[in-house]
Amino acid sequence: MPELPEVETVRRGLAPALEGRRFEHVEITDPRLTRPHDPLEVALELEGERVTKVDRRGKYLIVRFESGRALLIHLRMTGSLRHAKAEDHGLEQLPADPHRHAVVTLDDGSDVAYRDVRRFGTWLLLEPSDVDTYIDTRVGKEPLEAAYKAKHLAEKLATRRAPIKAAILDQRTVAGVGNIYADEALWRAQVHPLTPANELTADEVKAVHKGIRASLQAGVRRQGSTLRDYQLPDGSSGSAQDRFKVYGRGGLPCERCGTPIDKIRVAGRGTWYCPNCQAYRDAGAGSTKRGQRRYAASNSSKRPSRSRRQSSV
């Protein structure tokens, strides 16, 4: 799933193309993209809207309009946006694609095409009075803003008994962190991913805060990570995957201490960490497995049924 660095890279790529431009024509061919709203009705509502700003909160791309409305785009697992310039014959320059589910033609003749293989992405058009409320109830503070301090993270973690990795994957705790950058952040902080969030010391919270910011900043500098589907609006790839510290590096040596990187599961996600640099608090052989058993036991009694589970925002 595209995380903050990927969505921020898309925002930076689309902003010059969209800001100041009017949506001349909109075609949405996948009803899943706008459900429960009719895609034809959403397309008609979007036509004529003029973009004032391309913004972002967490993993949400926000296209703000002159009218005060906003289009919230969530790329989910495999969504991507491609800009085709008018001088390059717009959409004609792109190959035919069965996974293209929406096209916006701008008033300069260029096109923005939305592609999504797994079709989990969403487009939601919000009225002016609903924009901030909708986002604020689903997404926490922006971790890369200068005003975001360790104390804000500490406040969110103080009552969380879940493992620290599960806690920072919750978008209401901190916006934009997903599986990749959670592992990268905890490696930087030298904190075991199974450590209960409310048991972190003040210094550990500061280290996690610093690790989150550092890992996200590294991802943004390298224009996100292209592992499979993610692409920039110009069709190029990110390079953050070439510099991962732990994610996907099982069995390879930790660059800090040389210990082979290990893989476990936390909150249902594959999780990579260094057993030496990120030693579990319960010292001794088998401590990580004991931590996993404790987490599984405490979680099993309160796990909701499948029908009640909510997907990550």
CATH number of the domain where residue 64 is located: 3.20.190.10
Task: Kindly tell me if the per-residue pLDDT of 291 is higher than 90.
Answer: no
Assigned domain for 15 exists: yes
- Given 59, 64, 100, 115, which residue is catalytic? 59
227 class by beta-carbon count within 10 Å (0-12 exposed, 13-18 middle, 19+ buried): middle
Is 2 considered catalytic here?
Answer: yes
Assigned domain for 184 exists: yes
Task: Kindly tell me if the per-residue pLDDT of 285 is higher than 70.
Answer: no
* 93 and 55 share one domain: yes
Kindly report whether the global pTM for this prediction surpasses the value 0.75. Answer: yes
Is 149 considered catalytic here?
Answer: no
* 179 and 299 share one domain: yes
Assigned domain for 145 exists: no
Domain final residue, candidates 103, 136, 169: 136
* 129 and 242 share one domain: no
Domain final residue, candidates 91, 109, 136: 136
Per the document, the length of the chain is 313
- Given 2, 5, 193, 233, which residue is catalytic? 2
* 302 and 176 share one domain: yes
* 150-157 and 202-221 helices, crossing angle to 10°: 120
* 113 and 53 share one domain: yes
* 176 and 95 share one domain: no
pLDDT in tens, 46-105: 999 999 999 999 999 999 999 999 999 999 999 999 999 887 655 776 778 899 999 999
Domain that holds residue 60: 4-136
Domain final residue, candidates 136, 163, 194: 136
pLDDT at 94: 75
Q: What is the CA radius of gyration of the chain?
A: 21
Distance CA 237, CA 246 (A): 20
Amino acid found at 313: V
* 101 and 197 share one domain: no
Instruction: Look at 291 and 263; give whichever has higher pLDDT.
Output: 263
pLDDT in tens, 152-164: 999 999 999 999 9
Q: How many domains does the chain have?
A: 2
Distance CA 227, CA 241 (A): 7
Distance CA 205, CA 141 (A): 16
Assigned domain for 215 exists: yes
Contact assessment for residue 58 and residue 4, using Cβ atoms and an 8 Å cutoff: yes
* 156 and 287 share one domain: yes
Assigned domain for 89 exists: yes
- Angle, alpha carbons 59-64-70 (nearest 5°): 75
- Angle, alpha carbons 236-231-30 (nearest 5°): 135
Is 59 considered catalytic here?
Answer: yes
- Given 22, 269, 290, 294, which residue is catalytic? 269
* Peptide linkage before 36 cis (omega within 30 of 0): yes
Amino acid found at 222: R
> 255: domain CATH number?
1.10.8.50
For the residues 208-227, what does the mean pLDDT come to? Answer: 97
Task: Kindly tell me if the per-residue pLDDT of 298 is higher than 60.
Answer: no
